Amino acid sequence: MNLELRHLKVVCAIAETGSVTKAASQLGLAQPALTAQLQRIERTLGGPLFDRDRRGARPTALGELVLSRARVLLPAMKGLQDEAARLAAGGDHDTMTRYRIGAIGGPVVAHLVHRLSGAQPEAQISTHASYYISELAGMVLAGKLDYAQVGVCGDALPSAEYGLVWQTIGVDAVCVLMPDDHPQAKNLSVDLAELAEEQWVASAGDGCFGDCFAAACARAGFAPRRVLESDVRNCVDMVELGLAIGLCQPTFRPPAGLTSRPLRGAPLRWRLVLGWHPESVASRSAPKLMEHAQEAYQEILARNEHYTQWVQSQTMGGSNSHLAAA
């Protein structure tokens, strides 16, 4: 017997209901017929998928493996059938019904998903997190993701070698994360040269940000004493403990007791971009997704009052002209 999608639906139904009897009722089958079908599936796969007793049916290790694959394959097939039916009926060719979005940290993806869910309540949306552009770009190229939302130093886009189209969501000055009582926290912006004696912490990544930060420090007349690298939670902990001050985006919302200030003159800028394969189905929905992403980004920035005030204090034709979304 060859394994078919209907067999995977049987396995999922038994796991979800915890009972062959309940699964049979859910699927509209007689319990003996479903039991016989499960036995055929188990023979095909080479072992029992469930431990069954008076308390119900619980997946075995083999059952968990089959379920993990089924829970990917069944929604994917449903999405394919829905999109095929929509295209065959002459529906909107530029509207996707499934979105797989990879992202490197930050709140933009959450707000993007919120806006997308509101605009398309029926859409299937999944996310994948990574610190590395190369990983996300590879997953887009492999068809495992539709879009990659990443960040790069403000004067560049991700390498063309990734083979993706990249468009800018927004560009802003990098900020310093510090305790509320730090001497520089009273200012609207922070002079990098005034922080020459500090120790630093920043989140991990695979871009050139570390080199760009070192170059900015050199232009300010010093070499950073120490730069620690960790995940966002540990970065926050280190700042709270007074071990270091952090580097963050203006979209980052500091916890109580911490605050952020932009670096004066924007010696470091961070560009948020969205990427997709130019020949994929996702490319047709990219303009709408970009619109959602840029609106989400502006919404997040607006909640950072200090940063908004600083941007407004700059001369539109001068120092902040490079900070606008492109």
DSSP for 40-97, please give it. Answer: HHHHHHTS-SEEEETTEEEE-HHHHHHHHHHHHHHHHHHHHHHHHHHHHTT--TT--S
Quick one: tokens of 216?
């900015």
The domain containing residue 246 runs over which residues? Answer: 173-268
Which residue in this structure is represented by tokens 């979005």? Answer: 101
143 by DSSP, 3-state: which? coil
User: Which residues, 6 or more positions from 315, have their beta carbon under 8 angstroms from its beta carbon?
Assistant: none
Q: Which of 268, 289, 316 is the last residue of a domain?
A: 268
Q: Which of 88, 109, 126 is the last residue of a domain?
A: 88
* Same-domain pairing of 254 and 290: no
Mean pLDDT of 255-272: 93
197: in domain: yes
If we measure between CA atoms, which residue out of 133, 137, 117, 136 comes closest to residue 125?
A: 117
280: in domain: yes
Sheet containing 147-153: order of strands:
124-129, 98-103, 147-153, 269-276, 165-173
Residue 269: the pLDDT is 92
Q: Which of 88, 114, 129 is the last residue of a domain?
A: 88
* Same-domain pairing of 209 and 164: no
- Residue 173 C-alpha from the chain's centroid: 21
Query: What CATH number corresponds to the domain at position 291?
Result: 3.40.190.10
* pLDDT surpassing 80 at residue 319: no
313: in domain: no
* pLDDT surpassing 80 at residue 104: yes
* Same-domain pairing of 167 and 184: no
56: in domain: yes
Query: What CATH number corresponds to the domain at position 76?
Result: 1.10.10.10
Mean pLDDT of 89-104: 75
Residues 40-82: pLDDT tens digits? 999 999 999 999 888 899 999 999 999 999 988 888 787 777 6
Residue 85: the pLDDT is 64
251: in domain: yes
Calpha distance 246→235 (Å, rounded): 7
* pLDDT surpassing 70 at residue 245: yes
Calpha distance 281→301 (Å, rounded): 31
User: What's the mean per-residue pLDDT of the chain?
Assistant: 88
Percent of the chain at pLDDT > 70 equals 91
* Same-domain pairing of 68 and 188: no
More confident residue, 112 or 205: 112
* pLDDT surpassing 90 at residue 230: no
Which pLDDT band holds residue 20 (cuts at 50, 70, 90)? very high
* Same-domain pairing of 47 and 129: no
* Same-domain pairing of 16 and 81: yes
Mean pLDDT of 277-292: 92
Which pLDDT band holds residue 325 (cuts at 50, 70, 90)? very low
Residues 124-140: pLDDT tens digits? 999 999 988 989 999 99
Mean pLDDT of 223-232: 87
* Same-domain pairing of 200 and 252: yes
Residues 147-204: pLDDT tens digits? 999 998 877 788 888 889 999 999 999 999 999 999 999 999 999 999 999 999 998 7
| Number of domains present in the structure of the chain | 3
Strands of 181-288 (E only): list them.
200-203, 227-230, 245-248, 258-262, 269-276
Question: Dihedral angle at the C-alpha atoms of 72, 75, 78, 82, nearest 10 degrees?
Answer: -120
* Same-domain pairing of 136 and 251: no
Calpha distance 275→119 (Å, rounded): 21
* pLDDT surpassing 80 at residue 289: yes
* Same-domain pairing of 28 and 77: yes
* pLDDT surpassing 90 at residue 318: no
Residue 1: the pLDDT is 79
Residue 300: the pLDDT is 93
At residue 141, φ and ψ (nearest 5 deg) are -65, -35
Quick one: tokens of 31?
């319990």
Which pLDDT band holds residue 96 (cuts at 50, 70, 90)? confident
If we measure between CA atoms, which residue out of 290, 271, 274 comes closest to residue 115?
A: 290
If we measure between CA atoms, which residue out of 31, 61, 37 comes closest to residue 49?
A: 61
Calpha distance 156→134 (Å, rounded): 15
Residue 194: the pLDDT is 95
30: in domain: yes
Residue 316: the pLDDT is 46
Quick one: tokens of 42?
């188990």
308: in domain: no
